[in-house]
Amino acid sequence: MELGAVNGILEKYQAKRTSLISILHDIQDQYNFLPETALKKVASSLQMDLNDLYGVATFYKSFSLVPKGRHSITLCLGTACHVRGGPKVLRQMKKELGIEPGQTTKDKNFSLEVVNCLGVCAIGPVMVVDGKFYGEMNWVRAKRIVEKIMKKENGGRA
């Protein structure tokens, strides 16, 4: 893997340990995950033990050590969302995408995540797609949202 972007990110933060979280966020923004070669470069540049760096990368849920899809789908299965039909929405998403929570589609278009609460219980069930919240979700609406994204990905063709 080409590490030019990692070198630029390290230079941006002057390779300071106090900037570790920002460095990791920038790397993840660049590659859509934290590649092992990038983490080794960061550990070396910051004079850190690689295990300590992995500890930070795995502690925060916002970081991923595996490639993520271009589109992120997060479903809430907290109590309010669960009793209002969240599990039905999840079943539909698993069926539509052909993946389980925590996985990414083979074409790298979608990643599916499940969380216990998004803090917007009044509008549950809630689905977040690429950072946009969709409340009062049902499986029909969820399917339409994914189909719309797929259509855009295919240049307007279904």
User: What pLDDT sits at residue 156?
Assistant: 63
Q: Residue 55: which H helix or E strand, with range?
A: helix 50-59
Tens digits of residue pLDDT in 22-32? 999 999 989 88
Tens digits of residue pLDDT in 107-140? 999 999 999 999 999 999 999 999 899 999 999 9
User: What pLDDT sits at residue 89?
Assistant: 97
Q: What is the pTM of this model?
A: 0.73
Residue 3 has pLDDT above 80, yes or no: no
Hey, what long-range contacts does 107-110 have (CB within 8 A, 24 or more apart)?
108/67, 108/69, 108/70, 109/69, 109/70, 109/71, 109/149, 109/150, 109/153, 110/69, 110/70, 110/71, 110/72, 110/73, 110/146, 110/149
**In a 3-state reduction of DSSP, which class is residue 144?**
helix
CB 115 within 8 A of CB 75: yes
User: What pLDDT sits at residue 158?
Assistant: 53
Place domain 71-153 in its CATH homologous superfamily: Glutaredoxin (3.40.30.10)
Cite the residue boundaries of each domain of the chain with CATH code 3.40.30.10: 71-153
